[in-house]
Amino acid sequence: MEPQKIALVTGANKGIGLAIARQLGGQNHRVWLGCRDLPRGETAAQSLREAGFDARALQLEVTDQTSITQAAARIASESGRLDVLVNNAGIMFAPPPSIAEESLDEMRQMFETNVFGVMLVTQAFLPLLRKSDAARIVMMSSGLASLEEALDLRGETWGVGFAGYCASKTALNMLTVKLAKELAAEGIKVNAVDPGLTATDMTGNGPGHAPEVGARPAVALATTHAYGPTAGFYACAPSGELVLKRW
């Protein structure tokens, strides 16, 4: 059996984050579940341990530098390195009536979590990722982030609003590319994923596939081999194969 890998998934106490953690646990990863609400994180981690996985809850608020620093120190102390970072934590508010009426305060909150929070976490954990032989960083983006798809009159996202949320994920895609280019020489692969419409609390548990399906592209890229992609934006086909998306 290959040596155990170490993974951190943010926003992992439920939904897609928990599904990613479960699937990584099934592929011989010790999974750290980064959660704002530690009691809920402990409950989620316990459910994974009862299923036979090595899972540990970690208090982690992605917009709080102190919380991030303490989380990085704990993983450094108990695991010594990090092989996989999945930046899954994110927020979205109810659809505004129009961009002309969208709350700028809500936009700021989304950028703080979906963009700046991701970078705070990534920067803090890079020293541990650099101790891995094959580190992987995965950004949880959205199909709504694609500029090309947003301009496609025939596409399913043409009439979608959510300007602030979409803009935050588009910004995250650019940071994904910049990080991938900078870290390529170190063998660290960085990709963004579109989980597709997934039934979670964020989407009101409405239409969409199960979190286990939405987790697949993130897990595929978190475990990609040495010749796998970097600086890409991917979704999963029904067959489970990765599909390159339009930026």
**Catalytic center residues:** 165
Q: Phi/psi of residue 74, each to 5°?
A: -65, -45
Q: Phi/psi of residue 162, each to 5°?
A: 55, 50
Cβ atoms of 68 and 122 within 8 Å: the answer is no
Q: How is 190-244 classified by DSSP, letter by letter?
A: EEEE---SB-STTTTT-SSB-HHHHTHHHHHHHT--TTS--S-EEEE-TTS-EEE
Q: Phi/psi of residue 88, each to 5°?
A: -100, -25
Edge-to-edge strands, sheet with 29-35: 55-59, 29-35, 5-10, 84-87, 136-140, 189-193, 233-236, 242-244
